[in-house]
Amino acid sequence: MRKNIFFAVPLMVAVLISACADSGNNNNNTPPPQSYNITGKIDYAGKTISSAKVCLDVNNDGLANDNACVDTINGEYTFTSSNNPAYYPLAAFITEDTSAAVNAKITVDNSDYDSILYAPKGKTDTISITTTLAKSLMDKDSALSLNNAETQAEEIVKKAESPATVLTVYNNALNTSSETITNISTSIRGLVNVITDKLNKETNITDKTNITVSQEEVKAANDEISKADEEQPQEPQEPENPSGKPATPLEKVTEMLKNAEIKNAENPVNLNGYIDKVYNSCVIYDEEKQMCIEYGITEIGIKPDTFGGYTNFNTEVLMTSGQLLSFIIGYEEDGWPSDSELDFEVLPSDRTYNNEQVEGYMFTNHLSNKISPCNANGVVNGIYYKSIFDIELLNKMRREAQVCYEEKGGNEDPSGEISNDSNMILLMNCLAEAAYNNKDNIKIEKWYWTIDTTKIEECSK
């Protein structure tokens, strides 16, 4: 079994990402388009499917409008889309082996179906009556999370003996109501929304439960859905250079950080009160003995709670220049988003010193020959970016980066390590691309800090 390369590299590299950049292998300097693999199965509550097609509903109108629609095999689907499924629902158009339980067929775009099921945006592995109800609940309430929507949908299903009962009632309502709905192709979301709402109000759901929907109810539902749609986050588009050329990595970083929540701009965090200890960096490391045999550079350490608390790399990640693709972005470029005169950036530490795991922050710099703010012999100012997201999003970005890495030809040696520098650059590119594509789900804070090195004991040593 092929290893997941993103768990073979250090965690610091795997999560400290924030800008999208191409690997430099493109002759026309245009990054290849991002693609997303979508794989899952239709759960048709025990009923047998004769045929079905699954599409990413990029127009979010309940119709089959993604060019990557696929026919299922035994209800299973696998396809690739250039659109991010985190921002669009899935639609499944289903024909049963027998439609005896369905009183009529619903006609959409001149094709007849026994059922149309959905999965909410971000839910790609399963399409079922439960995910259909969850998607409809999210249509009505833009603030409803996927987890909460699924929980509410499950409560609706529990009112029946089985999901098959709810599916039968839903299909009957979908098909019989469609006969009275004008232009079903523009009303399908409203129709499903009204059915869901009425199922939610039922105290007990049986095969004989009868749900009808009027044109007026559908119109009201569509109006409500349209308002909720305006509050939904849209798939991020890559920023464009005014010249029409692809945006540079630096432009993408700047665009990603521009909406950061500003912290202490007028009264920067005074780091003098947060100095923790002195770290002796390892200059020579013995791989065979797996230990440092010569320590050299002295670095200032900063306490974990300096910038509003620090937890771990799975939930709180920093975005300073030391973590923004040093292989790709030249820090000498004009306009870098930092005003630290000596280019000292605050970085998190997940390193081990003298066999002791150290949490907190450290300084690093990229432009000057200075190795520590102590060498500044005075006040140093800077900006520190902190991004916050959960382990679920981290793993999602890792999966997207893994696909990117493999599709662009990344290799690993038998031990699972990155095989050469070019692959490492490709890895960083793919990690950055994944972070940029998910930037709307990452909270970024921008902290200003200052340090008077003349008053710090460690700097006087």
Task: List, for residues 3-28, the tens digit of each pLDDT value.
Answer: 454 444 433 333 333 322 222 333 33
Q: Is residue 405 part of a domain?
A: yes
Q: Is residue 400 part of a domain?
A: yes
SS (H, E, C) 264-320: CCCCCEEHHHHEEEEEEEEEEEECCCCEEEEEEEEEEEECCCCCCCCCCCCCEEECC
Q: Are residues 168 and 308 in the same domain?
A: no
Q: What is the pLDDT of residues 128-168, one digit of tens each?
A: 999 999 999 999 888 888 889 999 999 999 999 999 999 99
Q: Are residues 273 and 403 in the same domain?
A: yes
Q: Which of 197, 229, 261 is the C-terminal boundary of a domain?
A: 229
Q: Is residue 28 part of a domain?
A: no
Average pLDDT, integer, range 234-249: 64
Q: Are residues 297 and 437 in the same domain?
A: yes
Of 103, 100, 93, 96, which is closest to residue 47 (Cα–Cα)? 96
Structure tokens that stand for 387 in this block:
């991004």
Q: Are residues 155 and 271 in the same domain?
A: no
Q: Which of 179, 195, 229 is the C-terminal boundary of a domain?
A: 229
Q: Are residues 66 and 175 in the same domain?
A: yes
Of 108, 59, 52, 93, which is closest to residue 75 (Cα–Cα)? 52
Q: Are residues 127 and 206 in the same domain?
A: yes
Longest dimension (CA), the chain: 87
Q: Is 70 exceeded by the pLDDT of residue 206?
A: yes
Q: Are residues 394 and 280 in the same domain?
A: yes
Q: Are residues 434 and 372 in the same domain?
A: yes
Q: Which helix (H) or strand (E) holds 449?
A: strand 443-452
Q: Are residues 223 and 256 in the same domain?
A: no
Query: What amino acid occupies position 151?
Result: T
Q: Identify the three-state secondary structure at position 390.
A: coil
Q: Are residues 272 and 421 in the same domain?
A: yes
The CA–CA distances, whole Å, from 299 to 154, 238, 296, 375 equal 54, 38, 10, 11
Task: State residue 191's pLDDT score.
Answer: 92
d(CA 421, CA 124): 34
- Cα 332 to chain centroid, rounded: 30
Q: What is the pLDDT of residues 207-241, one digit of tens each?
A: 899 999 999 999 999 888 888 887 777 776 665 65
Of 347, 342, 348, 338, which is closest to residue 383 (Cα–Cα)? 338
Q: Is residue 379 part of a domain?
A: yes
Q: Is residue 235 part of a domain?
A: no
Q: Is residue 239 part of a domain?
A: no
Q: Are residues 137 and 260 in the same domain?
A: no
Q: Is residue 134 part of a domain?
A: yes
Q: What is the residue range of 190's domain?
A: 36-229
Q: Is residue 23 part of a domain?
A: no
Task: State residue 166's pLDDT score.
Answer: 95
211 Cβ contact list (under 8 Å, min separation 6): 169, 172, 173, 177, 195, 198, 199
Q: Are residues 317 and 224 in the same domain?
A: no
- Read off φ and ψ for residue 115, nearest 5 degrees: -160, 155
Which residue spans within 327-422 are E strands per DSSP?
Answer: 345-348, 352-353, 356-357, 361-364, 379-388
- Nearest 5°: the CA angle 362, 367, 372 is 35
For residues 345 and 365, the answer to whether their CB atoms sit within 8 Å is: yes
pTM above 0.85, yes or no: no
Query: What amino acid occupies position 396?
Result: K
Q: Is 70 exceeded by the pLDDT of residue 110?
A: yes
Number of structural domains (the chain) is 2
Q: What is the pLDDT of residues 173-191, one digit of tens each?
A: 998 888 888 888 888 899 9
DSSP state of 448: E
Q: Which of 200, 229, 258 is the C-terminal boundary of a domain?
A: 229
